[in-house]
């Protein structure tokens, strides 16, 4: 599985911002200095770079910033430029842009060291069987069989991270409502998959209806942790994908996750719960 260009862009943006802040320069000063040195720097360009609002970083822009920030060590400069080149690469998901969009989440997911997720209404994507994935996509209004095929193919590509030697540790909390909504004709297969896929690095808890109102009633979310980078929280709704990176926002989501974790059945109790649902489905 290839490395993650989205993660490299995010890292490069953060490090360039840290360089500017360490230098004590304002964005206005850096932009003016870059222009003075002959670069094509429009107003707001540096802000977009530092906010990771770029798609394919230009190494020339990175070099210009390194010059302004007086980064002269050859090895350090080379590390930044290598990062810029890696950030310009295209991941496998680019060929599935018609069904996964920009693929930012997919690109981050492949290098996560830990994935913590709470799902209120569906089984998490990485834990879906093919039949269930097709049912979910059809419920979203996708009717073209070839379109569904491509979406399922992309979903199966995502699941390859589970087989990596350094596969992420996954802790999924699934609401009972999501399990009850699995179509009857494929319910047993999907539930059995959830039981069988578990291992020390992949655990599932069920949040039962008996838990009542809980900390995550606002909806589903995913927390992605990385070996060398700060965590990211991901949420999606009907119209958009949202990424939260501010430490205060991430801390809040982690607190919510901890509360939901405490409200859910234990791993052992969840296994028993799934087994009982399987028996009821037969």
pLDDT per residue over 81-112, tens digit each? 999 999 998 888 888 888 888 888 999 999 99
pLDDT for the residue 142: 79
Alpha carbon dihedral 141, 142, 143, 147, in 10-degree steps, equals 170
pLDDT for the residue 1: 44
| pTM of the shown model | 0.88
Alpha carbon dihedral 118, 244, 8, 66, in 10-degree steps, equals -160
Q: What angle do CA 107, 254, 250 make, to 5 degrees?
A: 60
Reduce the DSSP state of residue 212 to 3 states and report it. coil
* Contacting residues for 239 by C-beta, under 8 A, at least 6 apart: none
- From residue 64, alpha-carbon distances to 24, 38, 39, 50, 101 in Å are 17, 10, 8, 14, 31
Percent of residues, the chain, with pLDDT higher than 90:
80
**Eight-class DSSP state of 168:** P
pLDDT for the residue 207: 98
- The CA distance from 200 to 143, in Å, is 38
Domain ranges of the chain: 5-87, 103-281
- The CA distance from 42 to 44, in Å, is 6
- The CA distance from 16 to 12, in Å, is 6
Going residue by residue through the chain, which has 282 residues, state the pLDDT in tens, using 9 for 90 and above: 457 899 999 999 999 999 999 999 999 999 999 999 888 898 899 999 999 988 889 999 999 999 999 999 999 999 999 999 999 988 888 888 888 888 889 999 999 999 999 999 999 999 999 999 999 988 888 778 888 899 999 999 999 999 988 899 999 999 999 999 999 999 999 999 999 999 999 999 999 999 999 999 999 999 999 999 999 999 987 777 899 999 999 999 999 999 999 999 999 999 999 999 999 887
In this structure, CATH architecture of domain 103-281: 2-Layer Sandwich (3.30)
pLDDT for the residue 143: 79
Segment 68-78, tens digit of pLDDT = 999 999 999 99
Alpha carbon dihedral 134, 98, 219, 271, in 10-degree steps, equals 40
């Amino acid at each position: 599985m290839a490395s993650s260009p989205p993660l490299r862009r995010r890292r490069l943006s953060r490090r360039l911002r840290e360089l500017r802040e360490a230098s004590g320069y304002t964005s206005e000063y850096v932009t003016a200095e870059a222009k003075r040195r002959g670069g094509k720097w429009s107003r707001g360009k540096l802000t977009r770079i530092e906010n990771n609002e770029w798609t394919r970083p230009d190494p020339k822009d990175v070099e210009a910033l390194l010059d302004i920030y007086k980064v002269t060590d050859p090895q350090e400069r080379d590390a930044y430029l290598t990062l810029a080149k890696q950030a310009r690469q295209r991941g496998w998901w680019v060929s599935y842009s018609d069904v996964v969009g920009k693929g930012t989440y997919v690109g981050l997911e492949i290098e996560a060291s830990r994935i913590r997720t709470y799902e209120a209404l569906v089984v998490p994507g990485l834990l879906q069987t093919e039949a269930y994935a097709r049912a979910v996509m059809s419920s979203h209004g996708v009717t073209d069989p070839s379109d569904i095929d491509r979406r399922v193919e992309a979903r199966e590509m995502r699941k390859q991270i589970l087989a990596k030697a350094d596969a992420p540790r996954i802790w999924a909390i699934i609401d009972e409502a999501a399990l009850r909504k699995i179509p009857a004709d494929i319910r047993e297969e999907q539930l059995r998959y959830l039981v069988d896929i578990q291992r020390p690095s992949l655990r599932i808890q069920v949040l039962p209806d008996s838990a009542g109102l809980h900390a995550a009633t606002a909806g589903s979310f995913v927390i992605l942790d990385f070996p060398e980078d700060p965590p990211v929280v991901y949420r999606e709704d009907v119209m958009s994908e949202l990424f939260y990176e501010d430490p205060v926002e991430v801390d809040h989501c982690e607190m919510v996750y901890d509360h939901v974790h405490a409200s859910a059945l234990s791993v052992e109790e969840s296994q028993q719960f799934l087994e009982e649902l399987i028996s009821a489905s037969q």
